[in-house]
Structure 1
């Protein structure tokens, strides 16, 4: 691909910072860079027509983890590390609201609920027995108890009689969030180039050569914010994790309101515009879902439909309107990887399925790695 003088001069010359990935993390990184360096020339590269990871494909949960997820975290992290993870997620959500405004992202704090299947009696009992301890650990962040027990007022089928309630959990409109963020980045003078796949990079003494599918160019600094796709650019701490999602057509008199978790958070659903949005199921084939292919599988889609029919909407007719998938970034630890890769290359990745919660903060911290 060859560029005219005007194209090269306006878009590909004298670039101070290039951000790879136009999701929540990448765009917040660009905004923070523009705040710190107002005169800098900043370019964001995006492989898709829209952000191609999970930022425009997630379920829109403004959450920090169900009780069973937090207890699972305590199996692999210290108490201090778990509390730090939750605090970082809350700080990220606060920054998201501060940057974009609650109305612009249609933020609703309707609370979150965790369901337990009929076969999860032991898990439910374990969560109840450890609820007070977790509430105590999280009290310095929230100033009151986070988790409590409530009844199954929604009529869910084939689950334990009681649910665990989290009054601090919310939901937002992912499309409105990303639209507001894109508008803010454009207004700041950041250039965003879509349908540009970065294949690699070569670092020189004072610059980085960025190699894309069709052309190469030089930038002063390269910041990688591709999360689930980060391994393709040499960040080994991240594994891709595909999330499959579906949404129903509008359901008359839908009585379900809030965000909901099932089976340790491997399934999640919510109400949106009188519909049910449901996602998850990668636990059915963990290795198979460690992929960057945006596709659907019959195994998981059939399981999602079964949950709708038997658990979420028993006795209520529904039709599926749309299905999709997105790519998350996972790893052995849930802490994001925010580091200096080399002299002029940096990364902020491995958001662990919590991109809505921590993406804004990770983007800011990524930009702040620049000396």
Structure 2
């Protein structure tokens, strides 16, 4: 593809900062760069029609981790590390709400709930026993108890009598969030180009040579915000993790409101109006779900449908209206990677499935490296 003089002049000449990835992290990074460098030329490149990873494909949970997920994290992270992770997620959510506003986000503070299946009684008892200890760990962040036992009032079936409630979590509208961020980026005179996949780059003394297919140009700095697509940058410290999701048709008299977790956060569901969105199940096939392919698989979809029928919506009439997948970035540690890779190249990746919560703050930290 031969670019015209105008295309070269306006989009690919004298570029100060190139951000790869137009998701939550990438756009927050670009906007923070604009606030620090008012006259800089900032270019954002996105390989998809819309953000390709999870930013427009997530479930819209304003969450920072269920009780069982935090207990599970303590097996591989220190108490201090877990506290820092939760604090960063909480601060990130506040930053997102402050930047866009609760009305734009359609933020609904319905709280978060964790369910435990009947057959998981030992696991459930272990979590209930550790609940006061986890509340104590999180006291420095929330100043109050986070988790409490409540009787299930939603008429779920085949679960333990009590659910774990968390009043600090809520729902957002993912589509509204990303539209608002894209509008802000454009209003900040940030150039956005889609269907642009970086095929190679070479860092020099004072600039980076970047190739996007047949197009090559120079940029003062190159910042990657590609999360689940960042394995080559990070020597596989980030691996892709596919999340499969489905949504039902509208259900008359649906009385479920909130964000809900099952099985250490591997399953999650919520209402969107009078529909149920349900996702997860990668723990059924970790190897198969370590992929950047945006399709679905029968075993995971079958399990999601079984949970809908036997646990979440027993005795309700509904149909599955739509299915999709998103790509998260995970690794052997939950701490995001925000680092300088070489003289003029940086990355902010590995959101660990918590991109809505920490994307804003990681974008800010990535911009601050420059």
Shift of 1:200: 2.1
The equivalent of 1:239 in structure 2 is: 239
> Residue 127 of structure 1 aligns to a residue in which SS?
helix
Quickly say closer, same or farther: Cα 1:69–1:43, change in 2 above 3 A: same
Q: 2 CA distance for matches of 1:369 and 1:169?
A: 30
Shift of 1:332: 0.5
Shift of 1:213: 2.4
The equivalent of 1:325 in structure 2 is: 325
Per-residue CA deviation, residues 197-236 of structure 1 (Å, 9 max, x unaligned), is: 1122111221111122232211110000000001144553
Equivalent pairs counted in the alignment come to 370
Q: 1 CA distance for matches of 2:217 and 2:249?
A: 46
- Structure 2: gaps spanning 5 or more residues: none
The equivalent of 1:153 in structure 2 is: 153
Per-residue CA deviation, residues 35-69 of structure 1 (Å, 9 max, x unaligned), is: 00000000000000000100000000000000000
The equivalent of 1:215 in structure 2 is: 215
The equivalent of 1:164 in structure 2 is: 164
Q: 2 CA distance for matches of 1:197 and 1:293?
A: 16
Shift of 1:164: 0.6
Q: 2 CA distance for matches of 1:203 and 1:234?
A: 16
Of stretches 87-96 and 199-208 in structure 1, the one that deviates more from structure 2 is: 199-208
> Residue 27 of structure 2 aligns to a residue in which SS?
helix
Q: 1 CA distance for matches of 2:94 and 2:152?
A: 30
Q: 1 CA distance for matches of 2:288 and 2:213?
A: 27
Contact 2:243 2:281 in 1 (8 A): yes
Shift of 1:135: 0.6
Q: 1 CA distance for matches of 2:287 and 2:220?
A: 37
- Structure 1: gaps spanning 5 or more residues: none
For residues 115-134 of structure 1, the aligned pairs below 5 Å read 115-134=115-134
Q: 1 CA distance for matches of 2:252 and 2:43?
A: 46
Q: 2 CA distance for matches of 1:19 and 1:59?
A: 25
Shift of 1:14: 0.3
For residues 24-43 of structure 1, the aligned pairs below 5 Å read 24-43=24-43
> Residue 196 of structure 2 aligns to a residue in which SS?
coil
Contact 1:199 1:233 in 2 (8 A): no
Contact 2:204 2:343 in 1 (8 A): no
Q: 2 CA distance for matches of 1:303 and 1:49?
A: 30
Q: 2 CA distance for matches of 1:240 and 1:285?
A: 13
The equivalent of 1:181 in structure 2 is: 181
Quickly say closer, same or farther: Cα 1:234–1:137, change in 2 above 3 A: closer
Q: 1 CA distance for matches of 2:65 and 2:46?
A: 29
The equivalent of 1:83 in structure 2 is: 83
> Residue 302 of structure 1 aligns to a residue in which SS?
helix
The equivalent of 1:97 in structure 2 is: 97
Q: TM-score under structure 2 normalisation? A: 0.99
